[in-house]
Structure 1
Amino acid sequence: MKKILPYLMIASGASLWGIIAYFVKGLADYGFTSMEIVAIRVIYAAIFLLLIGVARYRNQMKLKSLTDLRLFVGTGIFSIVFFNFCYFTTISQMNISIAVILLYTAPAFVTVLSFIFLKESLTLPKILAVAGTIMGCVLIAGITSGQSDITMLGIITGLGSGLFYALYTIFGKFALMKYKPFTITMYTFLVAAVSLIPVTKLWQKLDLLLNGEVLLYSIGLGLIPTVIAYFLYTWGLEKTEGSKAAIIATIEPVVATLLGVFLYGEKLVAIQLAGALLILSSVIIVNLSFGKKKITKSVEETV
């Protein structure tokens, strides 16, 4: 049981990421924009992380230098804010299952960006994985199927979510040289929250935010598929190889697809299913190609 438990924790965390659309759609039904929903997520997540930090990780809450805030501008704004905005916009444009599959182009982006910025090797399996991801996106886009539920905006923001999600790994790689995963996560969400409050002006919707159902959606979004999911995944990750964890985490799009099918009555045609399988296969290939390397294991799935 001890050997299986870490795998179960990773799968549980990834499954919670898969249900994020439930909270996003719930808030969208009340008229919140994609950027406002991003703000709600990061604000509540930051509050929960600060409380957890005070209770358990006080020694990890201090910055070694104020100049290090630039690292968290990278993880918090250029990754978390833009990633969530693109992802939530895609969810509003297309099927949940397609949105989450497009998000899973992130490993392909990580492979290319790591080659450019981190000087990591570009092996044949990685190249094949990137090619498979591109082909999968082409199939999902329905270029040959003429699907009316596919929008150009949805495709662009879907790929954007994968790109900005990948940037978290790149910025996080540098942040890990100086800080623990909890410190990175807390300041990432804190910087994101502080930057979005004046931009979204959520205080103008305070009455709506205090609505009972909106409050439940908001707390749920910041807690369940964010903070709890992160801790479950990280707990399992500490006892599991990074490559294995990333493969187990591909249960996320499966859960998201089931959510879309059974809760929202969404459907996928055969060509889109083929594209989804190509992308998920590419995710497995690119993670297996890392072998026992753990260059990103503490940061790749903390969002």
Structure 2
Amino acid sequence: MEKIRGILLVALGAASYGVLATFVKIAHDQGYHTGEITFSQFFIGFVVLLIMGLFGKKQKTVAPAGDKNPQLKMLLAGTSLGLTSTFYYLSVQYLPVSVCIILLMQTVWMGIILEWVLTRQVPEAKKIIAALIVIAGTLLATNIFDARVAFNVRGLMFGLLSAVSYTVAMYSSNKVALHLPGVKRSMYLVLGGLLAIVIFWNVELIRHFNLSVIWKWGAFLALFGTILPPLLFTKGLPKTGIGLGSIVSSVEIPVSILFAHFILNEIVMPIQWAGVALIIVAIAAMNLRFKTDSQGQ
């Protein structure tokens, strides 16, 4: 029963991420600037997490020996989260949501390469095969073989940059200050992301900022993008284990595409769904044996 509850929590967290791009595209269509959208999301998210940290149950934590300045490390790790949202939302301006989410998921093979570079250990065969499957699935899911489909180069660039940032965010946030409570870790990560957004947009943020974005979109995007997912993952992942949790979290892909289809009327071809299926199979293949080896840790 606990594992089922964990699966539901992780699935809800991933689905929360999945709804974001569709509504960001609507916000863009209403004339809001990417800078003010990302700023309002992270600002409200930080304020809510700060309040939760101040008035929530206090937990005593002991930092591992040699772990200096964990808060600063979390802030630095969080900058990649802010850049992920910035690049992802920029890509949504130029490309269909169904393509943007696929570009973001290139973090699967990028993560394998990053781990290879940092550990200097050749990846397992299953990871290399999974990476190749993801690339094949991407070619299908973006419908790149259809000569009638024209891709905006700027959108592709921002989409791939979002995947690079997300790869760094996932790797660093899972290595830094693990002894801190979930809410506190999320707060520092979001604050780091907020600082990155302010630095990235600088005067553009002031020039384009409209207070109405706070209540029109900021609260909604903060709830589904910076508050619910980390809290749900913190509760759910210990119950599912990392392997099963990674598989369940891939629900973000079909959720994002379905929202874009039904709300934005984006056309999704059968070949694209085949590509999505390949990517999810690759994610599952990477993690199923992990669960067996570690016996569901």
Q: TM-score, normalised by structure 2?
A: 0.85
1:271 and 1:245, CA in 2 relative to 1: closer, same or farther beyond 3 A? same
- Partner AA of 2:123 in structure 1: L
Whether 1:249 and 2:255 are equivalent positions in the alignment is no
How much has 1:293 moved relative to structure 2?
7.4
The CA deviation at 1:181 is 3.8
Q: Distance in 2 between matches of 1:44 and 1:283?
A: 32
User: Partner amino acid for 1:131?
Assistant: L
- Contact map agreement 2:254 2:276 (CA 8 A) in 1: no
Per-residue CA distance 1:239-297 (angstroms, 9 max, x = gap): 11111011111111111111111111111234333332222222222222533678xx9
Cα deviation, 1:125-181, whole Å, max 9, x if unaligned, reads 100011112222333444421243532222222222222111112222431355444
Q: CA, structure 1 residues 172+135, in 2 after alignment: closer, same or farther (shift >3 Å)? A: same
CA-to-aligned-CA distance 1:22-53 (integer Å, 9 cap, x gap) = 43123323323323322222111111110111
Q: Is the 8 A contact 2:111 2:171 kept in 1?
A: yes
Query: 2:84: which partner in 1?
Result: 83
CA distance in 1, matches of 2:178, 2:38: 28
Q: Go from structure 1 to structure 2 and tell me whether the alpha carbon gap of 1:279 and 1:147 turns closer, same or farther (over 3 Å shift).
A: farther
User: What whole-Å deviation, never above 9, does each CA across 1:202-242 have from its counterpart, x for those lacking one?
Assistant: 45556x32x3x751321111113321122122211121111
Q: Which deviates more from structure 2 when the two are superposed, residues 30-39 or residues 257-266?
A: 30-39
**Equivalent residues of 1:111, 1:126 under 8 A apart:** yes
What amino acid sits opposite 2:73 in the alignment?
L
* Structure 1 residue runs without a partner (length 5+): 298-303
Partner of 2:13: 13
Q: Distance in 2 between matches of 1:140 and 1:156?
A: 17
- Alpha-carbon separation, structure 2, partners of 1:284 and 1:149: 31
Paired letter, 2:78: G
Question: Structure 1 stretch 2-11 or stretch 174-183: which is displaced more?
Answer: 174-183
CA contact (8 A) 1:136 1:276 kept: yes
Alignment of 1:120-135 (within 5 A): 122-135=123-136
What's the % identity of the aligned pairs? 23
> Where do residues 152-171 of structure 1 align in structure 2 (5 Å cutoff)?
152-171=153-172
Distance 1:197 1:169, change over 3 A: closer
Cα distance in 2 for partners of 1:181, 1:21 equals 25
User: For the Cα contact (< 8 Å) 1:28–1:34, is it kept in 2?
Assistant: yes
2:111 is aligned to 110
Name the SS of the counterpart of 2:31 in structure 1.
coil
Instruction: Name 2:193's counterpart in structure 1.
Output: 192
Distance 1:11 1:173, change over 3 A: closer
